[in-house]
Structure 1
Amino acid sequence: MTNDWITNYRTPAHYRYILHDSSHEPSTILNSASYIKREAAKCVACGLCLPHCPTYGLLHDESESPRGRLSLMLALAKAELPLSDKLELHLARCLDCRACEKVCPSYVSYGLALDSARALIESAREPSASPAARSVSILQWLVEKRDRVRTLDKILWLYRLSGLQWLLRTSRLLKLFGFAELEANLVSQPIPITAAEIYPPESKSKGKVTIFTGCLTQITDQQTLTSAIRLLNRLGFEVHVPPDQGCCGALHLHSGLSEKAAEFMGQNIKAFTGDTGPILCASSGCTATLSEYAKYRESEKSADRFCSRVTDLNQFLAGLTWPSDIAFRPLNKRIAVHDPCSLTNVLRQEDKPYALLARIPGVEIIPLPDNSLCCGAAGTYHLTQTRIARQLRAPKIDHLRRLAPDILVTSNSGCAMYLAAGIRQAGLAIEVMHPVVLLERQLQNGAGT
């Protein structure tokens, strides 16, 4: 490493210190520098990840590739490179889609290293006052308490009902205050509902399952949670909804706020203690985070037990032996399927939605072209890196315009919101939903009949 290269990454004053001393490392669930060194040491710089990295494909910059970012992380961890705006931007531009992990011959846990690096950076920088950072901070604050989410749900319902949403969307006020991108992802929802703790099966019980409701999913995708519970009850399962569960922690973990993420992990592990069967999650982004709690809490047996129970909802349903009396009404429509990165690259269950949709007679199922590339939503990425996110979403919308499906299904609530916003802006008449919503809708003699 040359001095000239280090000079390009000078540390500005808004960083509190440079991590040249291990005593400065934050006390987090990760020994940040150690994890980075461990994972970066596995990388053989073969370059197989490059064609699969969305940001490298757009920017053609080695520093915007997994291989390049690992080099930057390692230099930071070894105190060979100081913190700087330029370094932080390269790491912030990573979508954390983890497509690189799926093709890595050395099995580098890139996502783990990235979370560690962001934790180091977050502990050493002053809070940002940018509009994007403000939007993310508001979201993080909201999901920290379930009461805040419930209150927001009611406020948003009144916001839409009163016509204020239409007024602000047609004015320039949202853009002026930096909330246009955040507000654009809001979708119409029915009146807020309060979930029960136990939903009994409709027929002879086949066992118990537990639902992870998440935080914002309760606001943005109530229909998926409702449909999931109805379908599971119809299949004979008693559904439990632990009242003390909270956010999965992804919003904080991927922003470097690992201590707060650790609190959520501990809260959820405790909330789901008990013999209530598999922990099912409908949003693949949350499922991916839940499934990896043990990686961040290595010494805890309770985390291992928790992770062994976590299952994607599509995976659980596709693995069942369905009763002969469960049938679906025919649907002569074209269904485009979006594969979320979390379902594909972390959970490796991208085939399950297709298997479930194939149960509906008459449907034409079309995988969305370039499904291996991230749509740009990526948690809060579309708020902080709006330009790149829109560049990644644009081809998806073009494909939808050309294919003209009646319905787009996706198994991640964040992707659903972001793609739905792009569809609305493009003036396309395409309904966006979770596969389970469509299944439950088409049930014969069920709620959708």
Structure 2
Amino acid sequence: MTTVTRFAPSPTGYIHVGNLRTALFNYLIARKSGGTFILRLDDTDQERSKQEYADAIMEDLEWLGLTWDRVERQSDRIDRYEAAAESLRRTGKLYECFESPTELDLKRKKLLNMHRPPVYDRASLKLTDLEKERMREEGREGYWRFLLDQTRIEWTDGILGDISIDAGSVSDPVLIRADGQVLYTFASSVDDIQMGVTHIVRGADHVTNTATQIQIIEALGGKPPAFAHHSLLTGAQGEELSKRLGTLSLRDLRANGIAPEALLSLMARLGSSQPVELRMSLDELAEGFDLGQFGAAPTKFDAEDLIPLTRARNQQLPYTAVADRIRHLGIPDAQAEAFWAVASKNIDKLDDLQHWADLVLEGADPVIDAEDAEFVATALQMLPPPPYGAQSWADWTAAVKEATGRKGKGLFMPLRKALTGQAHGPEMADLMPLLQKVRARG
């Protein structure tokens, strides 16, 4: 049987690192087995769903290389949901309810005060046709719940292991709102059957949804997919991450210079027993991907961990991958490849290239400590103007050493700071031939 997975975001906002984890796991399962990966837009909420968000979701996934085999939109499948709902009505598995939100809230509070689980009492099942008609005449609008079999719902989860949930401790889920909107639990179940989805990975907060969806799928004559629920992300100190997810959207990370390979490498291993290692291709990630290596405990995510991975990725990029960017920085073509060889080892993000371009093209403000002022002044009188060659740094420092008697760090560090304005950076022998201007010379 062909493996079929799906990623089903709602186009009501930008996707973030939590969403990515779900998308990536489902993608890698399909990629590893040569199966099908479906992008399914959960856009039945017409008021909140926006085309701009749908476009942004696809743009973010394409940036990461998570290409899909086809796109499905739930808004195009309303007739399928209506047919499935009618089927459930005929078998008595879908029943109409009329309680207002206020009435439901009062029922929940009453049960909680009695130290009982706030499970819906199925009062609407007892309504006669005449009572229902009277409620409609009063202006009440009916909504529809699925009648759960109050047994234990069991499955072997791909991450959490054996799961058993007492359906009697769960309210009959609402599948269709009073305004006719089909809710996720129902639409997703119908889609998973009709699209032949075989594996579903999603967050641990969906475990109860999975239990009810297993019964819905079976009531519709389908076979439940293999489910797995990954742990939820927390902040670096274990704090709740949900309030910060708005700052961790994929497009924000991209705008901040995070490399796609860095993000994918971290998210494909975070929370597993496998070490996080930079992988430059999705094939490499898929080859080593194993759901069984992941644990159930909340997983700490620190965006700072993406920096060293981005740095390592950038150092592996060939010059051809950045040639256009370097050209736009104004680096002469004759020096562009040498510039990349030097700068690539001294940046975290590609945007950091601007700093090194400014330095070689315009020079840097010199940093001269008071105790070195006389020494540096003497050295700069001995420094010829650009252009410089491969031996320029060695020849100049040798001449300065002979003239001043300085050596070691006391010789080299003040000269580096005078030319570059910083105490650390590339080997000066490699950087100096690139310098177009030296401000310290005056």
TM-score (norm 1): 0.21
* Structure number, greater radius of gyration: 2
TM-score (norm 2): 0.21
Q: Give the number of the structure whose residues are more often strand, by fraction.
A: 2
- 1 or 2 for the larger relative contact order (CA 8 Å, sep ≥6)? 1
